[in-house]
Amino acid sequence: MRKTNALALAALGTALTMGLAACGGSAGGGGNTSSGNNATGGAASTAKHNDAYTKVVNPSEAKGGTLKFALSDEPDSMDPGNTYYAWNWNFSRLYARPLMTYTAQPGDAGLKLVPDLAEGPGEVSADGKSWTYKLKKGIKYDDGTEVKATDVKYAIARSNFTDELTDGPKYFAQYLDAGGYKGPYKDKDLNDFKGVETPDDHTVVFKLKAPFSEFDFLVANPQSAPVPQAKDTGVDYEKTVASTGPYKFESHEVGKQLNLVKNENWDQATDTTRKQLPDRIEVQFKQNAEDIDNRLMAGQIQVDLAGTGLQSAGRAKVVQDAAKKDSTDNPFTPFNRYAMLSTAVKPFDNIDCRKAVQYATDKVATQAPWGGPLGGEIGTTAMTPTTVGYKQFDLYPNGADHKGDVAKAKEHLAACGQPNGFETNIAVRGDRTKEVQVAEALQASLDRVGIKATIKKYPSGDWSAQYAGKPDFVHKNNLGIMIAGWGADWPSGFGFLSQIVDGRFIKASGNYNMMELNDKAVNELLDKGIQTTDAAARNEIWAEVDKKVMESAAFMSFVYEKTLIFRPSNLTNVYVHPAYGMYDYTWLGVKQ
């Protein structure tokens, strides 16, 4: 285990030990200052490589200007209740406030929960099956109307209990005691939704089927941000979201551009974690990834919204230029980059065929597109070393050099009745250059043992809704292997594992358990762990879940990810938020 991750584990362990009693605090960065950086066109400064990993770089309270983001594809949705991209959980906080959130500080402190829409952490009942939150009074939407408890209840109902909103997680549907509730689009009487109670305008009570020891972390996800029922337009709600954050929608051409402007009804006094510095924020979607890097280095835009770092050509420029390197940060992220092998697509319904892929893969080659060691460490487990509960093990050692064990792979091909190999397809997000290169490296590895893999490219915007996350599509198109990545929904083994390994979360669309693994032992361990109040015992269970998942051979880890992200000299208040593994988008400003 590397030292950096040992520190991260200690920080995460502290956060989880505090757990649901996590105390308040205020926005950080006070004494963590550094001036400027050396991006193109910037003045000389003392900021160095990785400074934003531990402190705030280019601190400034100057207001004004336009902060510009770009993304290589389009989002799943800008609706806080219908999104599952990590960058969007970060970005949506500019206009959507959940019940709880994370402290606005780099380093260890950023993993501590603080109240956001709520006055404080949830009050849990003696039996652990009821969580109560009191809302801060006076919080308003951008139209000036006050947020009510029923708006939080409605937000949970629409995001988790409707068939139309498919892209976000369904934790609340899984764990709330809501009977057979079918969602507000089929049953418009919100009183019929018994999973959440609102005894008054400022009290929200969640009723659970069983104890859930990490519930404060769950309500820190954007699905607890309030939605007025009268303003909900279903899948079109993303066009104009009712804002409770420092910014509101000015215009939104879905899939093309989003413009935000200051929300005059946002009150800084109620919000300890955000700033309101730029006059406007502009986001361009479907931009060429390499062009995004060039524009970043020229200071024409300030942020690559995906937060996944520079492409190969951009990394090469950084390596060759000390000044550019001082304008970058190389943080460990919460992400594992991996492949999932579908247990429902032949011949991967046979575990030995899956093991053949595990042994055949040259992991040095699949690490290379991420930047080699600069892009992260070669992975052997589902959880990453920065996840609480992680234990190191390797069930499929593929040589001391990690370049594959061809003989072992052929042994398992023979065992699964495919001694000469077979044909399959690899699904990948076509706009993600690194993922395409990973698929190409995997294709070459498998070819050595007779497995002929064809790469199929799909758009990332509909990746989970229409393609790799839609089992019917996967089966019909023989998508045996899906290249993917995952970061923890919150910093624990459960927050990382549950949505991608729990068989009860396999959905007809928006599915992230692309293995279609439905192992009763895994499911039961997840239930046991989340009901365990002792943190140490809980963490042991997460490690056990990880091992059982890897025993299925359906999950193949490539890289415990690091990214190389670039901060132009005209970007202010820059720091890496540990909960997201990228810059804190709610703090950024821009020099005029």
What are the two backbone dihedrals, phi and then psi, of residue 507, each rounded to the nearest 5 degrees? -120, 160
Q: Which residue is it, tokens 């730029």? A: 278
pLDDT of residue 22: 29
Q: Which residue is it, tokens 């109902």? A: 157
Tens of pLDDT along 263-280? 999 999 999 999 999 999
**Which residues are CB-neighbours of 261 under 8 A, at least 6 positions away?**
247, 248, 250, 279, 280, 281
| DSSP SS3 for 294 | helix
Q: 485 has which bridge partners?
A: 337
- E strand or H helix at 7, and its extent? helix 3-18
DSSP structure class, residue 87: H
Burial class (CB in 10 A: 0-12, 13-18, 19+), 345: buried
pLDDT of residue 45: 54
* CA distance linking residue 504 with residue 171, whole number of Å: 11
Question: What average pLDDT is seen over the chain?
Answer: 91
Tell me the pTM: 0.82
Burial track 105-125 (b if 16+ CB lie within 10 A, e otherwise): bbbbbbbbbbbbbbeebbebe
Using alpha carbons, select from 301, 247, 250, 248 the residue that is nearest to residue 275. Answer: 247
| Mean pLDDT, residues 170-193 | 94
Tens of pLDDT along 80-136? 999 999 999 999 999 999 999 999 999 878 989 999 999 999 999 999 999 999 999
For the chain, how big is the Rg over CA atoms in Å?
23
pLDDT over threshold 80, residue 455: yes
Taking a C-beta distance cutoff of 8 angstroms, is the pair 59, 573 a contact? yes
Taking a C-beta distance cutoff of 8 angstroms, is the pair 93, 588 a contact? no
Reported confidence tier of residue 15, pLDDT bands at 50, 70, 90: very low
Using alpha carbons, select from 20, 34, 19 the residue that is nearest to residue 106. Answer: 34
pLDDT over threshold 70, residue 29: no
**Which residues are CB-neighbours of 341 under 8 A, at least 6 positions away?**
348, 354, 357, 480, 481, 515, 553, 554, 555, 556
Taking a C-beta distance cutoff of 8 angstroms, is the pair 225, 89 a contact? no
pLDDT over threshold 80, residue 201: yes
- E strand or H helix at 175, and its extent? helix 171-175
Taking a C-beta distance cutoff of 8 angstroms, is the pair 417, 423 a contact? no
CB count in 10 Å sphere of residue 33: 12
Question: What's the gap between Cα 123 and its chain centre?
Answer: 27
pLDDT over threshold 60, residue 5: no
Q: CA separation (Å) from 33 to 30, 156, 229?
A: 7, 39, 43
Reported confidence tier of residue 332, pLDDT bands at 50, 70, 90: confident
Strands 565-566 and 328-329: antiparallel
Q: What are the tokens at 292?
A: 């995004």
Q: What are the tokens at 463?
A: 């990746």
- Between 78 and 460, the more confident residue is 78
What are the two backbone dihedrals, phi and then psi, of residue 113, each rounded to the nearest 5 degrees? -80, 145
| Mean pLDDT, residues 18-29 | 31
Question: What's the gap between Cα 475 and its chain centre?
Answer: 26
Taking a C-beta distance cutoff of 8 angstroms, is the pair 487, 86 a contact? yes
Burial track 441-470 (b if 16+ CB lie within 10 A, e otherwise): bbbebbeebbbebebbebebbbbbbebbbb
For the chain, the distance separating the N- and C-terminal CA atoms, rounded to the nearest angstrom, is 43
Q: What are the tokens at 131?
A: 């969580």
Taking a C-beta distance cutoff of 8 angstroms, is the pair 308, 563 a contact? yes
pLDDT over threshold 60, residue 28: no
Taking a C-beta distance cutoff of 8 angstroms, is the pair 152, 249 a contact? no
| DSSP SS3 for 498 | helix
**Which residues are CB-neighbours of 228 under 8 A, at least 6 positions away?**
141, 145, 151, 154, 242
CB count in 10 Å sphere of residue 508: 11
Taking a C-beta distance cutoff of 8 angstroms, is the pair 97, 219 a contact? no
**Which residues are CB-neighbours of 194 under 8 A, at least 6 positions away?**
177, 178, 179, 181, 207
pLDDT over threshold 60, residue 23: no
pLDDT over threshold 90, residue 393: yes
